[in-house]
Amino acid sequence: MTSAATVLRPQDLGEVQAALRDTTGPLQIAGAGTAATWAGLLAPVDAVLDTTALTGVITHNPGDMTVAVRAGTPLAALHDELAEHAQHVSLDAARIAEGATVGGLLATGDAGPAALVFGSLRDVVIGVTLVLADGTVARAGGHVIKNVAGYDLAKVVHGSYGTLAVVAEVVLRLHPVPKAAVTVELPCSLAEAAEVAARVLGGPTEPAALEWTSDDLLLLRIEGTAAALEARTARVRELLGAAAVVAGGSGSSRDAGGAAGAGGADGAGGADGAAINAGGADGAAGGVGGAGHAGGDDPWARHAALTRGDPAAAVVRIGVRPSRLPALLASLPVMAATAGLGTGVATVTVPAGAVADVHARVHAAGGTSVLRARPAGAHLPAWGPPPSAVGVLRAVKHAFDPDDRLGPGRFDPWM
Amino acid sequence: MALDSAVRQAFEQALSPADVISDPVQCRAYECDGLTGYRVVPDLVLLPRDAEQVAAAVRVCHERKVPFVARGAGTGLSGGALPVADGVVISVSRLNKILEIDPVDRRAVVEPGVTNLSITKAAAPHGLYYAPDPSSQQVCTIGGNIAENSGGAHCLKYGFTTHHVLATEVVLADGTLVTVGTDTGEQAGPDLRGVVLGSEGTLGIVTQATVRLMRVPESVQTLLADFPSIAAAGEVVSDVVAAGIVPAAIEMMDTLAIEAAEEAVHAGYTVGVPAALIVELDGPAEECGVQFEQVKAICEKHGCTRLHIAGSADERAAIWRGRKAAFAAVGRISPDYFVQDGVVPRTRLAEVLDRIAAMGAEAGLRVANVFHAGDGNLHPLVLYNADAGETEQAEHLSGGIAELCVEMGGSLSGEHGIGTDKACSMPRMFSDDDLATMQRVRAAFDPDGLCNPGKVFPTPRLCGERPGKYQAHPLEASGKIERV
């Protein structure tokens, strides 16, 4: 799509500034490329600003649990580096395992099942360094987790898909890697899962993640101290009924390769019950590509594969009041899906021809939607109806990028 | 009065004559917020009854280029609701309805004049509560909380207002009514919600908010521990964090603050002890129990001289009453005081407290310290006697402490906002380009600059020559960040 474009690969902040200041014309900001097809189809650009050389930790203060990192750093690599301190960024978006960068995850507003407790990246970003289209370097926030000085510009670029500014550096709040984690699986339909989820969320068990996947499984993750985990698991299983079993694999997909010793096995102790993973996964997710990390018995790797969806079809990200989610999903031609029953956030694979209808139905349910993947080059509507504040969005875009250089087409037809 | 009668009539038409206050004596009630050192009597005070009336009033402002300042309960501590000369105050006190409590999706829809605590009260029958709990929660409004991105004692674990407000309806500076944010954490496009949150009333007036409600934790464990030194208490905080425990709250008070609080509410604090910590854990019973034992052991390891564990909800409430009353209680030991709100990286707490003590000694003023130790948010209370002519010294010391926090890699404000109070210090923390970029956002929302002008950003009028030249940020000077 941008094969004729010049690739600029700045090595530091100064080079990012120069790349923007010394050029004119439309420009694409690219990270690892794990979300290159998300949102609106990119219009032709003169140049691609590749952020993948902007890597590495700038400062990590383990005692303060904050880290400043260059935006091209893959989050998985950052997690590897933080693992020795048993700290991590509490984000488990599906594409982290594929090499997604911190800046890319911020620009796409991505999040995973852990959003139930920790929210998305917008909730843990405490500082940001941006470079505007004219080369202006602007910082906001800081290096402390509590800070209300000035406007929170990190929020402006959260979900901006590279249309407002280059994210050059990001400061993040860290959380302790849970000492132990366990996932309980319950085979059930979405409707059954919704009922169970309401019961769980109405009780005191405080799950770390609560997701239904279209291989008809409810996944419930518990995280905490090893000493308390067994009792908590027992309580959850009681709540979920006899069909619930403790899943195999790590407690959390994001920890699988990183945080040593933080996996689920230690706390789960002698948990019985094999993972119920036969049948379901290959049925619904059989055609899903890019599932190289989908370990056979790791439910969260399966979940990530289903969230990434089938690139031969279309993938739409949805958010709606949680109680409305089951009925909404039931009304869509879902080929594969993951659904956060506490968060109201779902990712669905649907036939390409159904995307416009998906946007309309989500909007009618009071929700929000964006196209995440499409068959190569297909012209599909990326966005639903514009929000009431679209005028402000356009004004911010004009203020940051008056010549409309960055990410042309991404927000078509909103701006 | 600088605003002519035609303007007043336009407001009276937009609202009703009874809802427009023009009597200077009545207007005087709105001349300041909780930062009483700054006072400006507004020309008019508007008391709209719903969002439509707020929008109508703002449209009049837009058409006639009248600056306006939104006001909730006026409890802010940074002069964020300070009226502007030749302008109007738009009070949201009558927009005070809780529109919806949704126990299934655990959220509430409220108007901006609703008090923080009343949301929790309305949610309580469902076993739910609204998490951010600023000390003023009985009287402060959710609209003001949104403007300031308020925190509270429990935000270490649960986050700030921005983590709990999913969506807001906002009257923009041209009088249009829009919604930013959604029903969930997911939203298509940039997070304008998160920009409005904490913008101190400079981007519009919030007329409705959808907030998250949390389930009341199954177990809550609270302890009050005395220590022989601030440093020892600080080590407890470090060890708790290093153990991977995220307490619901971890608060520290020094001798002066303890003395004041105990005198005011008799909460069972030990007068004379150098430092006291309040640590609260909550969560599922098993989890909470295990971690509480760890915290107790850490306290003992660091020479805790007294460990008081709240044995009942009443005892817990008493501990918190002392902490939350600390600001007001200082009034008992000093005729006047300033409250500061700077933040330092938590690991530098002991160091910054030493520096503050030295600065206080040099100025000949006492400084009491009450703070959120878990997140490094200090609340130094600078005690002075205005009648003895100490005001200017105290102001100087107070501002110096905020700027010291920036120098140590922190922030001017953790939760009270920049407002009028610290606008002139902003160049200490941000470069001209940083501030100019924020101003681009400001102009995108409010091209005429009518919406709470003079706050957050330094202006020559407010700051004289002070904003001046940018000085290298300490992180920059030490090579931790690069500036080009």
**pLDDT tens digit string along A14-38?**
999 999 999 999 999 999 999 999 9
Q: Which two tokens stand for residue A155?
A: 């929020």
**Is residue B176 helix, strand or coil?**
coil
* DSSP character string of B133-173: --TTTTT-BHHHHHHHT---TTHHHH--HHHHEEEEEEE-T
State the smallest CA–CA distance between residue B406 and chain A in angstroms. 10
Q: What is the distance in angstroms between the Cα of A100 and the nearest Cα belonging to chain B?
A: 19
With beta carbons under 8 A apart, name residues in chain A contacting B433: 136-138
Helix (H) / strand (E) element for B46: namely strand B44-46
Say whether A389 and B178 touch across the interface (CB within 8 A).
yes
Backbone angles phi, psi at B209, to 5 degrees: -140, 140
End-to-end CA distance of chain A: 21
The pLDDT value given to residue B327: 83
Distance CA B134, CA B155 (A): 9
**Predicted ipTM?**
0.94
Of A59, A320, A399, the CB nearest to B441: A399
- Residue A249: pLDDT over 90: no
Q: How far apart are CA A69 and CA A78, in angstroms?
A: 8
pLDDT greater than 60 at residue A310:
yes
pLDDT at A333: 97
pLDDT at B22 (0 to 100): 95
Contact by Cβ (8 Å): B421, B402: no
**Cβ contact, residue pair A132, B437, below 8 Å:** yes
Which pLDDT does position B472 carry in this prediction?
Answer: 62
pLDDT: is B38 or A272 the higher one? B38
pLDDT at A282 over 50: no
Dump pLDDT digits (tens) for B53-96.
Answer: 999 999 999 999 999 999 999 999 999 999 999 999 999 999 99
Residue with tokens 């997710």: A285
- Tell me what pLDDT residue B474 has: 61
Per-residue pLDDT tens digits for A32-85 = 999 999 999 999 999 999 999 999 999 999 999 999 999 999 999 999 999 999
Of A269-273, A390-394, B128-132, B180-184, which range is least confident? Answer: A269-273
How far, in Å, CA of A85 to CA of A71, rounded?
A: 21
Give the residue-averaged pLDDT of A118-126.
Answer: 96
Q: Which residues of chain B neighbour A202 with C-beta distances below 8 Å?
A: 127, 215
**A8: CB partners within 8 A, 6+ apart:** A19, A23, A47, A48, A49, A50
The answer, yes or no, to whether residue A3 has pLDDT greater than 70, is no
Strands A125-131 and A137-141: antiparallel
Q: In this complex, do A68 and B192 lie within 8 Å of one another by their Cβ atoms? A: no
Nearest by CB: A140 against B151, B217, B434: B434
Put simply, the answer to whether B286 touches A389 (Cβ < 8 Å) is no
pLDDT at B463: 86
Higher-scoring residue by pLDDT: A256, A318: A318
B465 vs B76: CA distance, rounded Å: 27
Number of Cβ within 10 Å of residue B76's Cβ equals 29
State the burial class of residue B114 (Cβ atoms within 10 Å of its Cβ: 0-12, 13-18, 19+): buried
pTM above threshold 0.90: yes
State pLDDT tens for residues B7-47.
Answer: 999 999 999 999 999 999 999 999 999 998 899 999 999 99
Let me know: does B408 contact B345? Beta carbons within 8 Å: yes
The one-letter code for the residue type at A4 is A
Confidence of residue A362 (pLDDT cuts 50, 70, 90): very high
Nearest to A346 by CA among A366, A320, A379, A372: A320
Whether the pLDDT of residue A130 is over 70: the answer is yes
- pLDDT, residue A1, reads 46
What's the pLDDT score for residue B462?
77
Question: Quick check: A191 pLDDT over 60?
Answer: yes
Residue A251 has pLDDT above 70, yes or no: no
Mean pLDDT by 10 residues, chain B (484 residues): 88 97 96 92 97 98 98 95 96 98 97 98 98 93 98 93 98 98 95 98 98 97 97 94 94 94 91 97 96 98 97 94 87 90 93 95 95 93 95 94 96 96 96 98 98 94 59 62 56
d(CA A127, CA A155): 10
Closest approach of chain B CAs to the CA of A150, in angstroms? Answer: 7
Contacts of A214 (CB under 8 A, 6+ apart): A284, A285, A306, A334, A335, A336, A337, A338
Length reported for chain B: 484
Measured between beta carbons, which residues in chain A are less than 8 angstroms from residue B448?
none
Closest chain B residue to A117, measured at CA: B158
d(CA B298, CA B300): 5
**What is the pLDDT at residue B83?**
97
Quote the tokens at residue B327.
Answer: 């600001």
